[in-house]
Structure 1
Amino acid sequence: MFKYSFGLLLGALVLLSSCRDFVEPNIPYSTFDTAAYLRTIDRTSTDFNFFDLGNSNFALTLEAVDAEDGATVETVEIRVRHRRLIPGVGLEYIPAISSEDVLVRTLQASDFAPNSESRFLRTSFSIPASEAIQALGLTPEDIEGGDAFEFRLVLNDRFGRSFTDSNADANVKGSPFYASPFFYNVAVVCPSDLGGTYEFSATNMDSIYGSCDGTITGTTTWTPVANAAGVYEVSDGTFGFWDCYGDSWGSGSARISDACGNISMSGSDKYGATYSLTLLSSSAESFTFVWLNSDNETGEVTIFAQDGKPLPIFN
């Protein structure tokens, strides 16, 4: 058994040593030209709050990966462009898409430092929305909800080479391992938090099917709609009007939408009538609107703030 095993081992060694001579050409591993990339470790903040641009930031933690554990990095340029979708026209860019984006800030090699989690050098930065807006020659009044800021990173190394989204491999930009897109979309978002149950009062209710004199008071529940930011399912699109003359809301589906301070109503009831609203007034304590459906049923409703939580000011 010992002789047999020794013979197999000796044969394997001879085979492996002989196979090495058949590798052509010999690959010069020591002379490979290596690049560099910026692994995204943490996206601390990647959107701007339209209602609080003064306290909004674009912030990342990056790791410089290269043959010298990040030491070849000389500078990292942080560049920006503003983007807006204009309905019926298309995308508008500042500066124009045919021009170079604008430099906001430059990170130096000294901004990268060792860390306790890996052997590569890391850096963190935060770009205030105001800094990006000013770099583009804009003002906060020029910004609208739904806009976006396109941030692009350009890594320059000490060999005179530059790496960015235009010359990085798709795997480097998209793979979770490399996590180095060099390009980040920062949306101007309008946070909405209207989910909950509110007290309301309703007046001026009328329709061809019946009317309701005086004032109705009660509660209405607004449930956030999944995968539809700022959209809420309303528990009763008539706000108690149908109950007043002997009908009920039932299986209707009416929705309230909060889009950057613009409030609207959509959806339909169990009879297929569609809904809309007209805002009359708005404050942190209450807001009042008139709802109307395609059957010409209508009512005036005031929604009250609950539990000391102020309401947004609607347009």
Structure 2
Amino acid sequence: MKMLKYSFGFLLSALVFLSSCRDFVEPNIPYSEFDTGAYLRTIRTTDENTSLTFNFFNLANSKFALILEAVDIEDGATVETVEIKVQHRRLITGVGLEYTPSEPVLVKTLSAADFAPNTESRFLRTSFQIPASEAISAVGLTPADIEGGDTFEFSLILTDNKGRQFNRENVSGNIAGAPFYDSPFQYFVNVICPSDLGGTYEFTQTNMDSIYGSCSGTISGTTTWTPVSGAPGAYRISDATFGFWDCYGDSWGSGSVRINDACGNLSMSGADKYGVGYSITVLSSTPEELVFVWLNGDGETGEVTMKAQDGKPLPTLM
């Protein structure tokens, strides 16, 4: 009898527990009355249909280009327009960010007709291109005003068929930054200066001078510029004296000097094995050869003519 009472009590408790769990996991929420929005998923590819940089050395052929996928309750069909605005930004040392103009300006508008079905998803997609020249003109500047390191901020405003607007001001962090959604409604297009000086080059050196020794005539040899990992535009140079020390009995040894390419402006950093720094002055630059003078803190110097590698012309430097 005692066992029967315990069993009945256990059964009653289980029924109460299961009943409470059922109410918890199946709340009476009117899902059909939820409001829905829209966002623009960024479709990233490696072809010419996407580009998020302007090449400082080739602004005439640079562009901001994207593929966008409209995601909403009607698979993209609620989109009416997408306005694309732009603003130029520059970091001024000691001052901060300078914007031109003070507010973003309209540079392009996409309509519902620009969105079409695709073979990769059920959502409508569009692709567009904005040449750098159009962006520069829209903000009231000319190509001559642009510098390496500048940024063009493009912001998108989506208006749906209910008159609602979705933009960078009201998009949530998850929608903007999560890889699946990737819908920031804004894109920072940087003006970059591609640098490709890595390699081994033939050179000749003249006009060498030093208080420690001299080397008359001409030195010929090869110099290797090795890209520095994590430092775009920086190259570790195999011998910053280009063989001059070898000429009078010394050697480069453990010296570590870099060539730095900042949008066509060359500089040197680091020091030789004696802790002496170096500088460089470019005398002339063509696709066939680069002529420059190096100088260190001890007054040693030389004029170097560096030849282009086979099939790889040198970039025009300042």
TM-score by length of 1: 0.91
Q: What's 2:297 paired with? A: 294
- Aligned pairs for 1:271-290 (under 5 A) are 271-290=274-293
SS at match of 1:212: coil
SS at match of 2:113: helix
- Choose which of 264, 267, 292 in structure 2 pairs with 1:261: 264
SS at match of 1:54: helix
Task: Give the whole-Å Cα distance in 2 for the aligned partners of 1:207 and 1:18.
Answer: 92
Q: In the TM superposition, what is the alpha-carbon distance from 1:212 to its structure 2 partner?
A: 0.9
Task: Give the whole-Å Cα distance in 2 for the aligned partners of 1:12 and 1:159.
Answer: 50
Q: In the TM superposition, what is the alpha-carbon distance from 1:310 to its structure 2 partner?
A: 2.3
My pick for the range that moved more, 12-21 or 211-220, is 12-21
Q: What's 1:127 paired with? A: 130
Q: What's 1:42 paired with? A: 44
Task: Give the whole-Å Cα distance in 2 for the aligned partners of 1:146 and 1:286.
Answer: 27
- Aligned pairs for 1:102-181 (under 5 A) are 102-181=105-184
Question: Does residue 27 of the first structure (1) align with residue 29 of the second (2)?
Answer: yes
SS at match of 2:52: strand
Unpaired stretches in structure 2, ≥5 consecutive residues: 1-12
SS at match of 2:58: helix
Q: Structure 1's 240 and 162: CA in aligned 2 closer, same or farther, altered over 3 A?
A: same
Task: Give the whole-Å Cα distance in 2 for the aligned partners of 1:13 and 1:158.
Answer: 50
Task: Give the whole-Å Cα distance in 2 for the aligned partners of 1:16 and 1:62.
Answer: 47
Unpaired stretches in structure 1, ≥5 consecutive residues: 1-10
Letter in 2 for 1:167: N
- Choose which of 84, 89, 93 in structure 2 pairs with 1:87: 93
SS at match of 2:74: coil
Task: Give the whole-Å Cα distance in 2 for the aligned partners of 1:314 and 1:180.
Answer: 38
Q: Deviations over 1:96-120 (max 9, x none)?
A: 2xx3x01111110111111122111
Aligned length: 302
What's the RMSD between the two structures over aligned residues?
2.0
Q: Structure 1's 111 and 12: CA in aligned 2 closer, same or farther, altered over 3 A?
A: farther
My pick for the range that moved more, 277-286 or 189-198, is 277-286
Q: What's 2:81 paired with? A: 75
Question: Does residue 303 of the first structure (1) align with residue 306 of the second (2)?
Answer: yes
SS at match of 1:45: coil
Task: Give the whole-Å Cα distance in 2 for the aligned partners of 1:308 and 1:176.
Answer: 40
Task: Give the whole-Å Cα distance in 2 for the aligned partners of 1:130 and 1:136.
Answer: 10
